[in-house]
Structure 1
Amino acid sequence: MIDVIRAAWVIARRDYVASVFSRAFLLFLIGPLLPILAGLLFSIAGAGGGADQKRPAVAVIAGPAEAELLHAARGRLAERLGDAMLPMLHIAAPEGGAEAQTRRLLADRSDGVVAVARGGIDAPRLIGPRAGVADVRGRLALIYDEARAARAMADAGAAAPGPVAFRETVVERAAGPDAAGHAATARAGQLVLMFLTMILAGMLLSNLIEEKSNKVIEVLAAAVPVDAIFLGKLAAMLAMSLTGIAVWGAMALLALRGLFPAVTLPVPAVGWGAFVALGTVYFVACYLLLGALFLGIGAQVSSVREVQTLSMPVTMGQLGVVALASSVVAAPESGLAKAATVFPWSSPFAMIARAAQAPEIWPHLLAIGWQALWIGLIIRFAARRFRVSVLKSGGPRRRWFRRWRTS
């Protein structure tokens, strides 16, 4: 066993160095970024046409008199600056406790409310997420200054007020779990996992066919055990995949920080640290389950044509697995969702969605153990098929059996 592990390490290091330290790997890293960049450019190009629909809104808790002053002030400023330059104002009459009403207004996303203003026009308080408060602070101050100046002019002998100063309070958008945000994060996690697996695991088929056609497999088999070839190739492709994911993740993080500094992603139920760690573990599990199966299948084919023929059912199978796992997002406790959690190939997709929606960690420990058991079984089965197909080790045994029967 030690000899097999040592030989597998040599094979893995050889494949990893040959793949990563090549110009083709650079093109491989750039390839998936091109459609993302194209989508980004189309989004930026179409942003101008939808600017009116995306204007931020501020919910203002105010009485009738102050509401009339603010509406009139906004109307006068809109005539001079343009309506699109000012945030929308949604006036809400005071009702019940101010804190409870503020939480309700922040939780309601139907009107595009990014912050809540209360406390009157003399000592206003602006409450909301950091990005929302920063977005509307300056333009909302213009409206309040105009409203205060108009009131001072209406009151004979009143002194002109100075610039308004908001007391700001940065809070989460809503108290309690954000179901919509968690569902969005769950679906995004499943899509990213599917995207990475489809791109990276399928490379094993092409890589194996290339080495079979070049007779490299026969040369390696003459020097090291066949099981070491199988494990080494699987480990090398996994390491190469993790390298690509690290590069793509770093580029995505830099792009978000540089181009969209105000964007805040919905926080998963388990937190970002645990979500990223679990996502990495589930990608490794998904990759090993599919990669070992692909190696076993790839050992049975002998041409690129056969690989292309196999690609369609493999891709459709992956889409079916993801469709099964998507039931976890809509109905986590349904029978279909539980089946997706138990079925080994859909379990990583189902559990990454659960990590986004539920804060418990212990189900993930059980799922990881269950997936590890199936990884061992699949690798054992695929390695046997790999050995039989590549080396035809079943041939001599069958000939000996026929000689024994005829004797």
Structure 2
Amino acid sequence: MNETLRAAFVIAQRDFTAVILSKTFILFLLGPLFPLIIFVFAQSFGDKIDKDVSRPAVGVAMSALDTQRLTDARDRITQKIGDQAMPVLRPYPAGTDPKAMLAGKDAKAVAMLSGTLSMPRLTGKEADIRQFEGDLGLLIGVARAGSAMPDTPIAKDIVSTSSGSEQQSRLVTGRTAQVLLFLLTMLLAGMVLSNMVEEKTNKIIEILAAAVPVDAIFLGKLIAMLGMSFVGIAVWGLTALTGYAFFMGTSFPMPTPAIGWPMFVLLFFLYFATAYTLLGSLFIGVGAQASTVREVQTLSMPITMCQVVIFFFASYAVNRMGEAPEVAAAIFPFSSPFAMIARAAQSDAIWPHLLAIVWQLLWVALIIRIGVRLFRRNVLKSGGGGRKRLFGRKAGPAA
């Protein structure tokens, strides 16, 4: 066992150094930053477009007095419930024909409100009328009431804590951590597969297998790729925090998890390690059986799709802590990291995480053992006979 671990660390040191010191690793680190920059710019432009496009406009063809009363009423309402809650009012001269205006090519309103406040008329397509009649009815009612409409003051009783509010806030933290954990795992775990296929194609893996136990090769590659992933996460995390502090200040936007930020961050890295090694061990097993890139793609696609389904299952169970779906997601090894990081945001208990991490590591060991057996049988011919490819006919004996 000690020899296997020593050999695994030698393999890990070799792979880690080769990846970190390569020129492509710099491009790998810069790769996710470009989509992030594009996303920030797209989000800013999207907000501007959203203000102009997503808010529908209703034309108002009433007298100047009625139009002003409607505008004042809209201002009073939006001060309370937000500007996005009511449609934009676009004034038109009194007497404008609503049907002719809507039929024109330069029409900027999707519906027209005409008549008077006492006898209003809404003109538009049936779907648009259904969309606006409720809001416009409220708007006309407030405009009719004018200053006679009372603005009832509400007494305020401020409390320092609210368990319901904190629970909802922690759900946000849990869901965000789940998404981040899933994206990082899917982004980085595939590198284990490509590394295995590359060395298998170059016959390096057979040379290593002749010198050290196959278990050590598998475990060493997992450790090396996990270490490389931590380097990437550290660079991306520091870059994101620096950018956020520069543009947004020092206030942190995420609600504090129940277990506290230091322990939550530690558990996040631990669950990333277990999620990565669980998926990575599967990918190593696949890469050990496949002989071509086509075979790798054929076998890895079902694993990836299953992982997406598993993530959605864990996401579904995040706000059902203690119920059957959440317990099942916490027990199933491939969804356990996602379910447990969400639990850490909502509960301050430590012992379930200790059990979950041990449980997940046992499954990592089991999957590695199965992959090693398949590798020996299909690649190293320990089962006897000619070498058998994963797809196709049996190949002749190796030279």
Give the equivalent residue in structure 2 for 1:373.
362
* Aligned mates of 1:215, 1:372 — CA distance in 2: 30
- Is 1:213 the counterpart of 2:201? The answer is yes
The AA in structure 2 aligned to 1:286 is A
Deviation (angstroms), 1:378: 2.0
One of 169, 186, 191 as aligned partner of 1:198: 186
Contact 2:258-2:344 at 8 Å conserved across structures: yes
Give the counterpart letter for 2:201 in structure 1: S
In the superposition, relative to structure 1, how do residues 301 and 94 fare at CA in structure 2: closer, same or farther (>3 Å)? closer
1:291 aligned counterpart, secondary structure = helix
Q: How does 1:6-405 map to 2 (within 5 A)?
A: 6-48=6-48, 93=153, 95=155, 101-103=157-159, 175-176=162-163, 177-261=165-249, 262-395=251-384
Gaps of 5+ in 1: 53-74, 76-82, 84-90, 104-171, 399-407
Q: Which AA in structure 1 matches 2:30?
A: I
Q: CA deviation at 1:48?
A: 4.4
- Deviation of the 1:179 alpha carbon: 2.4
Conserved in 1, the CA contact under 8 Å of 2:278 and 2:364?
yes
Deviation at 1:45, TM superposition (A): 2.5
> What is the alpha-carbon distance in structure 1 between the residues aligned to residue 168 and residue 218 of structure 2?
43
How many angstroms does 1:44 deviate by?
2.2
Q: CA RMSD, aligned part only?
A: 2.5
**1:51 shift after superposition:** 7.7
Deviation at 1:50, TM superposition (A): 6.4
Task: Say which is worse superposed, 377-386 or 281-290, in terms of deviation.
Answer: 377-386
Residues 1:50 and 1:293: Cα distance change in structure 2 (over 3 Å):
closer
AA partner of residue 102 (structure 1): I
CA contact (8 A) 1:328 1:353 kept: no
How many Å separate the matches in 2 of 1:315 and 1:249?
Answer: 25
Contact 1:205–1:298 (CA<8 Å) still a contact in 2? yes
TM-score scaled by length of structure 1: 0.66
The 3 A distance-change label for structure 1 pair 282 and 196 is same
Counterpart Cα distance in 2 of 1:213 and 1:328: 42
Counterpart-to-counterpart distance in 1, 2:368 and 2:223 = 12
Check whether the contact 1:328–1:354 (CA below 8 A) recurs between aligned residues. no
Opposite residue 303 of structure 1, the aligned amino acid is T
- Which deviates more from structure 2 when the two are superposed, residues 29-38 or residues 174-183? 174-183
Q: CA deviation at 1:18?
A: 0.5
- Is the contact made by 1:16 and 1:237 (CA closer than 8 Å) also made in structure 2? yes
Contact 1:189 1:352 in 2 (8 A): yes
| % same residue | 52
- Rounded to whole Å, the distance in 2 between the matches of 1:330 and 1:283 is 21
What letter corresponds to residue 238 of structure 1 in structure 2? L
The number of equivalent residue pairs is: 289
- Structure 1 residue 372, shift from structure 2 partner: 2.4
Work out whether residues 215 and 368 of structure 2, in 8 Å CA contact, stay in contact via their aligned partners in 1.
Answer: no
Aligned counterparts of 1:374 and 1:267: Cα–Cα separation in 2: 31
